[in-house]
Amino acid sequence: MHRKRFGLLGSLLVVGMLVVGPAASLGGCAASVNGKVDEQAVDALISALFVQDQADFGTEDTLYSLNASGVSVIGACEARTKALQNYNTLLETNFEDVKDAEGDVDKLDEANEAFAQGQVDYEVKNFPTDYWYVAAGMQSLDDGNFDGAEQDIDIEDTDDSGLDPTDDKDVVASLMICRVNDHPKVDEPDDHQFVVERDQDCYLAKKGTLSVTKYDQDKTLTITAEVELTPLDSDGAVKDVDEDAGEVVVNINSAHCPTLEEEMQNTKDIIEDALDG
């Protein structure tokens, strides 16, 4: 097995896990974290889902991703899909408003503030104030490598920091656990770029092993992991790799969420259309 340094799982795992709601049934899918995270016990993660994704990698290859998550609120698939639908609507409007502003600073500020405030308003209305979530995933240049894969995690190993484009059997993995403490709010940095500021404490797996024990494409995904954790700062970067936040055993038994995948593609299409325009 190759040992990799692998960062966060991108916006899906950093942002997507934040959208949960009280809808739908468990359907037998859930997750668990055994062991304490920064001296805290993790609530039961009673809903779990996964998504599949792919993107161009270089000029000839395709990068395949599997991302699974478990949250301490039921109905994550439906709620996350609706939240991303809301985000996509706001995103389209923001692109239109920014274009119409024609460089006017005040109008740009209004557009960006409305975009951020729309996300916050939706979460305040639809999400609980506090909950836990775990996010885990793998990437490879061949989606046939996922089922049965067992991958080491070591973020201090800088000798081999990503996928080897010459090795179609190569796999990288990552895992993150977060506690959301309160609803987000809109923050305005000095550069007028309004942002959604989230009140959460997150921890990254810095060392350990992540395994895909079962993968049935478009149906189910089971991930297990034994990892050591380290805290992340508010920007999602490792504070101090030598700082320990506990050792845990994670199990995620998840169901496919195709509606969320569709909205993820819609996000890509909206951004692509805006860039082309």
* pLDDT tens-digit series, residues 8-51: 344 334 334 444 333 333 345 899 999 999 999 999 999 999 99
Residue 97 has pLDDT above 80, yes or no: yes
pTM of the model: 0.86
- Cβ neighbours, 10 Å, residue 66: 26
The whole-number average pLDDT for the span 176-198 is 88
d(CA 196, CA 119): 8
Closest to 87 measured CA to CA, from 123, 55, 49, 127:
123
pLDDT in tens, 207-265: 999 999 999 999 999 999 999 999 999 888 998 999 999 999 999 999 999 999 999 99
Domain region containing 37: 3-276
The whole-number average pLDDT for the span 112-122 is 96
Contact 75, 259 (CB under 8 A): no
The whole-number average pLDDT for the span 257-274 is 96
Q: Residue 203: phi, psi to the nearest 5?
A: -140, 135
The whole-number average pLDDT for the span 85-114 is 95
Task: Name the one residue in this structure whose structure tokens are 């305040």.
Answer: 124
pLDDT value at residue 61: 85
pLDDT value at residue 163: 72
pLDDT value at residue 156: 87
> Number of structural domains, the chain?
1
Task: Name the one residue in this structure whose structure tokens are 């775990």.
Answer: 134
Residues 6+ apart with CB under 8 A from 187: 194, 195, 196, 197
pLDDT value at residue 162: 67
pLDDT band at 1; cut points 50, 70, 90: very low
